[in-house]
Amino acid sequence: MKYILISALIMTTLSGCATATRSDFTVLSKKNVNSVNIKVSRDMMKGNTRGEDCQHIVFGIPFSGPATFDEALDRSLESQHGNILLNAIVEHSWYYIFVPIYGRDCWKIEGVAYDTYK
Amino acid sequence: MTPISRKTKAISLLLAMTTIALLIGCSARVGDLTIVSTRNINLSEKIQLNANKATRFSGEDCSFFLLNYYPFFNKIPNLEVAVERALRQGNGNLMLDEVTVASDVWVIIGNIKCIQATGAVLNVPPKVIP
């Protein structure tokens, strides 16, 4: 009985969970865009960009504020000084080792940055 | 007046705690987008977008998490699904001034996590792929 309990405890401690969800967007922005006359052309292109915001949880204690989609998008736009992302891929990944020795919650955004005010 | 038995008191306390546990939840604004779309739209031609003329619609995607950490059927709320549902509701292909809200409601053995997208839905010329 003792061994069963110990092995059950080990099994649950070693068990974990990882999952991810992917979203595809044709247009994505959180910055000001000229909505009166919006037009995107090739010369406005700033290049491929990537932004990430993660929260690490160790023994149930979060080591930063909650990871947000907003922050990841901001980082991806800021890195290329753009104001709009085209063909954006948003990935939300979730990973935990049993309740929760270690956990990670991440938002990642990739896309092509454009500056429509250029 | 008949005295209340210990058993009745315990059941009442348990019921009260269950009710409180079921009512606990929280929500947070996790994103504010100026423009968002999941559809092919033609941005190579100048288009005028007016959020004041558009009606606001909401879309939501939810998942159940066992013990807060384990998503049921390995599914976590998807923002694309929420945006797509709002676009379909508004019969449009572009959303302006979108607000993303993530919410969490406890249900004793786990919680229901949702992601909601609300914004002004517009219909702009779609991109024609030859």
Higher pLDDT: A35 or B92? It is: B92
Facing residue for A40 by CB, picked from B40, B43, B74: B43
Between CA A102 and CA A41 the distance in angstroms is 45
Domain residue limits, chain A: 16-114
Using CB atoms, pick whichever of A17, A26, A28 lies closest to residue B69: A17
CB burial readout A53-86, b (16+ within 10 A) else e = bebebeeeeeeeeebbbbbbbbbbbeebebbbbb
Q: Does the pLDDT at position B52 exceed 70?
A: yes
Coil vs helix vs strand at A2: helix
B31 with A35: Cβ contact below 8 A: no
Q: What is the pLDDT of residue B67?
A: 74
Dihedral sign, Cα of residue A90, residue A107, residue A111, residue B118: positive
- Interface predicted TM-score (ipTM) over 0.85: no
Q: Identify the band that residue B130 occupies on the pLDDT scale cut at 50, 70 and 90.
A: low
Tokens 């991109």, residue located: B127
Chain A residues touching B51 at Cβ < 8 A: 35
Domain ranges of chain B: 25-122
Confidence of residue A99 (pLDDT cuts 50, 70, 90): low
